[in-house]
């Protein structure tokens, strides 16, 4: 459909990644889905991306990506997403194998074939960093790298670091220094967009399989976050990065200079945002600060209600 942004969704499904795939299928032209090791290992994230493709019955290539971070040891979040990544939702074994086992080549090729794509990474930045190493000019050919990761105020793995950046801080460092037009949709933003039991009921009420799956994912996301600061709801991190591309009016961002800490004893994986105003270093990034949460949730729910294949 004309007018929709064309994106590559680089993901580690992942409960909120799965909702991001549904959101992207409705509001963007999905050029490809690439998988990366993150919330769970690469076998599971790739299989889950394929499962979501089957569920939505969409004709989008899925490319398997990096099985480990650039330097660090693999770091997963099974306690947040379940042992296999999609909570306790049982989806059929995927119909097909991945279209390739080289997500990096797929990103390089797609961005050479077409200027103006948006890369939307919502997992660790390993594939994106490797693609930029293979072809640094990607930074000039893409419309944006709009990533879910980091934040302006603090972390969730440590006090300083958010999961996607912490899991491959060296990759994130390379991406933030690449010169690409980056938008960082971090925790300070995504914590504003929360889904609760009422949203899960709404999804169930759609009366189709995608709605049922989404409802289970939302319920699980609430349950694993029940000990957090705002019980009864869970942040929908990854769909926010998709919406920042498809509906930029919903997510307000401002230019800032951001660096990734790779060495700090207490701050490894932190995205340090320069907030000094006139004293700041030249911006290398847009930082998302404010969501129209009501509208963002409407768009996510509409994407679930009107999902392809229902
Ligand atoms: C990010 O980490 C992952 O667990 C989620 O899928 C999201 O991409 C939030 O910190
Ligand atoms: Ca993710």
CATH assignment at residue 185: 3.90.245.10
* Among 164, 165, 172, 193, residue to substitute to test ligand 1 (most atoms within 8 Å of Cβ): 164
Q: How far is the CA of 284 from the centre of ligand 1 (A)?
A: 23
Torsion angle, alpha carbons of 109, 114, 118, 119, to 10:
0
Question: Does the annotation mark 237 as catalytic?
Answer: yes
Share above pLDDT 90 across residues of the chain, in percent, rounded to a whole number: 88
Asked if residue 268 is part of any domain, the answer here is yes
Closest atom of ligand 1 to 157 CA is: 10
Return the ligand 1 atom nearest residue 77 CA: 4
Domain span including residue 88: 6-305
Tell how far the Cα of 211 is from the centroid of ligand 1, in angstroms.
21
Ordered DSSP codes for 13-32: --HHHHHHHHHHHHHSEEEE
Predicted confidence (pLDDT) at residue 288 exceeds the cutoff of 70? yes
Task: Give the distance between the most distant pair of CA atoms in the chain.
Answer: 55
309: confidence class by pLDDT, cuts 50, 70, 90: confident
The CA-atom distances, in angstroms, between 241 and each of 89, 186, 262, 268 are 23, 9, 23, 23
Residue 310 lies in a domain: no
Nearest ligand atom owner, CA of 36: 2
Span 147-159, pLDDT tens digits: 999 999 999 999 9
Q: Specify whether the CB–CB gap between 196 and 68 falls below 8 A.
A: no
| Residues linked to residue 183 through DSSP beta bridges, in sequence order | 146, 286
| Ligand nearest to the Cα of 151, by number | 1
59 domain residue, yes or no: yes
Task: Say whether 307 sits in a helix, a strand or coil.
Answer: coil
Rounded to 5°, the CA angle 177-145-40 comes to 95
Whether 296 and 250 have beta carbons less than 8 Å apart is answered as: yes
Any domain includes 1: no
Nearest-CA neighbor of 190 among 146, 227, 223?
Answer: 146
The answer as to whether 214 is a domain residue is yes
Token pair, residue 223, equals 């349950």
Contact present, 247 and 152 (Cβ < 8 Å):
no
Instruction: State pLDDT tens for residues 111-147.
Output: 999 999 999 999 999 999 999 999 999 999 999 999 9
**Which of 237, 247, 257, 266 is an active site residue?**
237
Q: Are 141 and 108 in contact (CB under 8 A)?
A: no
Q: What is the pTM of this model?
A: 0.97
Ligand 1 lining (C-beta closer than 6 Å): 14, 16-17, 39, 77, 80, 122-123, 148, 156, 162-164, 237-238
Number of domains in the chain: 1
Q: Which ligand is nearest to the CA of 217?
A: 1
Region at 309 (left for phi over 0; alpha for psi -120 to 50; beta for the rest)? left
Exposed, middle or buried: residue 208 (CB in 10 Å: 0-12, 13-18, 19+)?
A: middle
Specify the ligand 1 atom closest to the Cα of 39.
4
81 confidence band (pLDDT: 50, 70, 90): confident
* Domain-located, residue 110: yes
């Amino acid at each position: 459909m004309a007018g929709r942004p064309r994106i590559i969704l680089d993901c580690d499904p992942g409960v909120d990644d799965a909702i991001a795939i549904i959101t992207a299928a409705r509001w963007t032209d999905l050029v490809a889905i690439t998988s990366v090791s993150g919330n769970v290992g690469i076998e599971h994230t790739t299989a889950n991306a394929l499962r979501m493709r089957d569920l939505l019955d969409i004709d989008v290539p899925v490319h398997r990506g990096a099985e480990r971070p650039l330097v660090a040891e693999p770091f997963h979040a099974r306690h947040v997403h379940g042992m296999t990544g999609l909570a306790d939702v049982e989806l059929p074994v995927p119909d097909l194998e991945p279209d390739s086992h080289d997500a990096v080549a797929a990103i390089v090729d797609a961005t050479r074939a077409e200027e103006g794509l948006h890369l939307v990474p919502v997992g660790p930045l390993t594939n994106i960093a490797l693609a930029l190493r293979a072809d640094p000019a990607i930074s000039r050919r893409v419309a944006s790298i709009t990533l879910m990761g980091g934040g302006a105020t603090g972390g969730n793995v440590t006090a300083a670091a958010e999961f996607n950046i912490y899991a491959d801080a060296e990759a994130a460092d390379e991406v933030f220094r690449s010169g690409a037009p980056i938008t960082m949709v971090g925790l300070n933003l995504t914590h504003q967009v929360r889904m609760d039991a009422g949203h899960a009921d709404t999804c169930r009420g759609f009366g189709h399989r995608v709605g049922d799956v989404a409802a289970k994912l939302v319920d699980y996301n609430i349950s694993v976050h029940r000990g957090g600061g705002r019980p009864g709801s869970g942040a929908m991190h990854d769909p926010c990065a998709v919406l920042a591309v498809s509906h930029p009016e919903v997510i307000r961002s401002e230019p800032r200079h951001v660096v990734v800490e790779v060495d700090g004893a207490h701050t490894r994986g932190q995205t340090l945002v320069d907030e000094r105003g006139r004293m700041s270093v030249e911006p290398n990034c847009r930082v998302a600060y404010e969501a129209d949460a009501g509208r963002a949730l409407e768009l996510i729910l509409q994407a679930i209600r009107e999902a392809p294949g229902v």
